[in-house]
Structure 1
Amino acid sequence: MKGIQVDLLEPDRIVCSFKVTPPLPPLLNGGNFMHGGATATLVDLIGSAAILTVGTPSFGVSVEINVSYLDSAYPGEEVEVEAKALRVGKAVGVASVELRKKKTGKIIAQGHHTKYLALASKL
């Protein structure tokens, strides 16, 4: 996604940040705070990136994405996204993803992403 900065990249973990800046209609909902769909997309993308840090040869396909929405992010706020690969095997990868306000550390959302990775070996 455009505007996301990678702050830390290591095996099993990635930390990114971005600023919620209008006018970015895909990021904001009608209430003028970060859209739940944008949050779910970040869980998908950054969770996948954490799984890839382990060295899996396949992007795979999502099997499950779960997001718990705990707070809102408003225009001008910086958001930090931390994803950790919990398990990466031959067929399945699992990551946890947390979005939080960079200034206060308050959790905006927590996500869990499961991917099927064995697809590349079948091609």
Structure 2
Amino acid sequence: MTSPSELEHVRAVWQKMQGNSPIYDFLLSNIDIISATKGSVTARLPLEKNHVNSRGTIHGAVSAAIVDWSGGLAIATHGLEKSGASVDIHVTYIGTAQLGDTIEIEALANKVGRSMAFTTIRISKLVDGKPGPMVATASHTKYIQQAKS
């Protein structure tokens, strides 16, 4: 179940990022954050021409950018305004999606500490409005600065 406050917070963090990241502006202008709870964000992205390679399928670099973006927002669900700098991104490309498909991104913040955060991301192709074949899975580690409690 989506908490309105966490969803509002994540959308506000995303709104602050827009206009400050040309790559996110180029790739994610039409992304829809559909839910957020503490430690979890789900979003959907219809694939357009700027998302695909010469074969008309999602480009690996787009998947990696989605992992970076969504992992950061999953970390933001812990009340953070900024989600730090990437230390490691590992993407496993399992399947593909094509121009015109919509993908669903599920990002989980597995651990958010004072200086490091660890996330996992699943990207799947939507089929009849529900997550279908897996496109990619990923792990994403970020260095964060969080106030000491």
With the length of structure 1 as denominator, give the TM-score of the two structures: 0.89
Q: Distance in 1 between matches of 2:119 and 2:97?
A: 22
Report what 1:92 is aligned to: 116
Matched residues in 1 for 2:57 and 2:90: separation?
Answer: 20
Match of 1:44 in 2: 68
Identity among equivalent pairs (%): 28
The residue that corresponds to 2:134 in the other structure is 107
* Between structures 1 and 2, the one with greater helix share: 2
* 1:62 counterpart = 2:86: yes
Give the letter aligned to residue 69 of structure 2.
Answer: L
Measured against aligned partners, the alpha-carbon deviations of 1:33-71 in whole angstroms (never above 9, x if no partner) come to 110000000000001100110123542110000000000
**Equivalent-residue separation in structure 2 for 1:105 and 1:89 (angstroms):** 32
* Structure 2 residues without counterparts, runs of 5 or longer: 1-27
Task: Measure the CA separation in 1 of the matches of 2:86 and 2:106.
Answer: 19
- What are structure 1's unaligned runs of at least 5 residues? none
Question: In 2, distance between residues paired with 1:78 and 1:66?
Answer: 22
RMSD, matched Cα: 1.4
Matches of 2:138 and 2:123, distance apart in 1? 8
Aligned residues: 117
Runs ≥4 residues deviating over 4 A: none
Q: 2:72 is paired with a residue of what secondary structure?
A: helix
Indicate which of 39, 44, 47 corresponds to 1:17: 44
Question: Does 2:106 match 1:82?
Answer: yes
Higher relative contact order (CA 8 A, sep 6+): 1
Shift of 1:102: 1.3
Counterpart of 1:56, as a letter, is L
In 2, the alpha carbon distance for the partners of 1:9 and 1:30 equals 34
